[in-house]
Amino acid sequence: MRNQVQLITYADRLGGDLPGLARVLRAPELDGAFGGVHVLPFFTPFDGADAGFDPVDHTAVDPRLGTWDDVRDIATTHDVVVDLIVNHVSADSAAFRDVQANGEASESYPMFLTMSTVFPDGATEEDLTRIYRPRPGLPFTPVRLGDRLRYVWTTFTPQQVDIDVRSEAGQAYLTSILEAVAAAGVSLIRLDAVGYALKTPGTTSFMTPETFQFIEAFTAQARERGVDVLVEVHSYYRRQMEIGRSVDLVYDFALPPLVLHALYTADGEALVRWMGIRPPNAVTVLDTHDGIGVIDVGPDQSEPDRPGLLTPAQIDELVEGIHHHTGGTSAEATGAAASNLDLYQVNSTFYDALGRDDQRYLAARAIQLFTPGIPQVYYVGALAGGNDMDLLTRTGVGRDINRHHYTPAEISDALERPVVQALLGLCRLRNHVPAFDGVLDVGLDGETVTMRRRGVEVPDAEATLVVDLATGQASIVWEHAGGSGRVEDLLSLSGYTTPRMS
């Protein structure tokens, strides 16, 4: 997989469908900016109860979006990343409906988890309170299976029924999805919600030793098919470091809140400290289809005495800072203010979280792109989009504030904006200057952060970023055999192009 910037997007919200997304990716305005694309769930149906993360048929492309041939076509020009939803399937899936109709007589019955699957002898209050929860309440929904009312395990919503990944039926189901995506030329799969996939009595049932064993075994299956694995887990930062040592790639979810904290307060100590210990085999993000995580920089939820990267007071200040910079719109979309809530995320676009300040926004993106790993830029962020209050009002779903449906005209207008053109130029620089395969040297001098990357395959290649956290002013200087350059204002990268390096 190329060490280049990737775009994260829904096919229907940026291009309308898979062929439309391919046209956007190949548009002259985006030439050289993105070497890969993470296409968020396009399975049947892509517009279910959780925007595609509750598939009825995870092996089928929703015909309203296209076919597997369309995915293969995108893979001819871009590395393709897709989601493999390992924890659950839609309650409307054929397999679960058969279980509802026939109960234990159904061939699919072993594929799904009930409370008694995990606790055959019953569960104590201590057993239940120990289970780690991403959302309020217990992870069970009463459902009639055949002639019996059972507590079905539903980690996220009643529409998302958890799979027993230890069962033969569950393993066969996941293997069938892996084979479908591998056959479509997919380079990388993201194991969505894998931290919750293994339920073990007497534990938190979140990122347990059994979870790591499952990830290791599934990663081996994927590698046999030429597919790498990215693990998606929001958790305590030391757990992320542990995950990073045992997988191909792990998300750096601590980066977004630390960048905001640094730019809000002009204090870069926590950010620089993280740069020294974070897993290098990471996918870096500032924004995704979910909210801005705060649990990733907080204390250990299982052992609160273990401090986080930020103190509780700093996290409170960060959350209030997001609400302030967005003019209060993020508060309307976060926590109990909106449905489908997550306890550990603030819902907002990253551009609005920085008060739509172009200079600070480009500085934040430059920090992301200089951080070791594979950078991913969310489609709303790529177009410097603001909070979609109309969509939030229509759906009442908090995360929809950052899931705008772009029309072709809106895409064209966004691509004319200097901040968007500068961001695309910054992505091209990151992709084509051969200084980003080596280690990072980072320094902090008062309110100024300096990040320097030196090439490995091209040892004379070097790129240096200097950010004044107090003002948001940033500059970049780079040098390699193919040329050199310097920009004192990142907005001057608008329209920047550089020759592709072999």
Q: List residues forming the annotated binding site for sucrose.
A: 88, 190-192, 232, 289-290, 342-345, 399
Helix, strand, coil share (%) of the chain residues, nearest 5: 40, 20, 40
Contacts of 367 (CB under 8 A, 6+ apart): 255, 259, 271, 449, 451, 465, 467
Measured CA to CA, the distance from residue 418 to residue 495 in angstroms comes to 9
Cα 230 to Cα 14, 187, 348: the distances in Å are: 23, 11, 24
Residues 8 and 377 sit within 8 Å (Cβ to Cβ): yes
Q: Look at residue 24 and give its three-state secondary structure.
A: helix
Is residue 232 part of the annotated active site? The answer reads yes
Binding-site annotation, residues = 50, 88, 190-192, 232, 289-290, 342-345, 399
Q: Which of 283, 342, 353 is nearest to 50 (CA)?
A: 342
Measured CA to CA, the distance from residue 357 to residue 352 in angstroms comes to 8
Binding-site annotation, residues for substrate = 50
Pick the catalytic residue: 192, 252, 358, 388? 192
Measured CA to CA, the distance from residue 399 to residue 403 in angstroms comes to 7
CA angle 485, 486, 488 (to 5 degrees): 160
Task: Decide: residue 462, CB within 10 A, 0-12 exposed, 13-18 middle, 19+ buried.
Answer: buried
Residues 247 and 275 sit within 8 Å (Cβ to Cβ): no
Question: For 447, how many CA atoms within 13 A lie in the half-sphere containing its CB?
Answer: 12
Pick the catalytic residue: 70, 162, 164, 232? 232
CA angle 403, 335, 231 (to 5 degrees): 60
Kindly report the number of other CB atoms within 10 A of residue 450's CB atom: 16
Is residue 192 part of the annotated active site? The answer reads yes
Q: Which of 424, 432, 430 is nearest to 500 (CA)?
A: 432
Do the bridges between strand 57-61 and strand 6-9 make them parallel or antiparallel, or are there none, so unpaired?
unpaired
- Active-site residues, by number, are 192, 232
